[in-house]
Structure 1
Amino acid sequence: MIEFSEHNRNAQVLALHYARSLGDDYVVAVMFSQAEIATSEEALRVAACFWEMTDLAVADDNAERTVDGVDDLQFWMYKLFNQVYGYLTKAGFIDEWKQASREQYQEGSYQ
């Protein structure tokens, strides 16, 4: 289960905000530390959603928006990256992370 320390609370705030914005109740539960990632499909879903969250955060950051009281979006999204990537890697889902990352890159989000 992804668990957020008090030091990473703002990363969790952003994760919950963007997962809710994307309408993915499962990812909301994962980011709320209420659901495990147990299958390849779940890992791919969380990884893909993370990249969608990143796109939303970039748009908010470019517009200089504060999200649920968090204003240093780049810093906290980097912390969220570490949480999600670290968890998926430790849980044995690095291939799912790589697949979601490739798919996101192919869709042109990083151009």
Structure 2
Amino acid sequence: MIALLQPSAAVSKPISARGEWGVCYAAHDAPGFTIVLAGEAWIAFDGKEPLRLVSGDFVLLPTTPAFSLSSKPGAPCIAVEPRNAAVRHGDPQGDPDFVALGGSF
């Protein structure tokens, strides 16, 4: 599917988390993607019910609206900026209980 879009460049990074956590991102005008490699998380777009993401799920957004990603629905979220480096949410110690690969074109 990504090959059909013929993106000019792709930036990806590992995303991991442990324990209870939540982050929110402002809308930005770039296609984005996430593939869940292990565990589960919840994604919610403004005004919509949260969606459970589990290992193997792939999200492709033609433009990225504001959204939150969290360990459970209703978890407190902190505002973060997209970056091109590995990110760790929640408890920084121990093995992650959520692992994904995310990025933008």
TM-score by length of 2: 0.28
Q: Which has the higher contact order (CA 8 A, sep 6+)?
A: 2
Where is the helix percentage greater, Structure 1 or Structure 2? 1
Where is the strand percentage greater, Structure 1 or Structure 2? 2
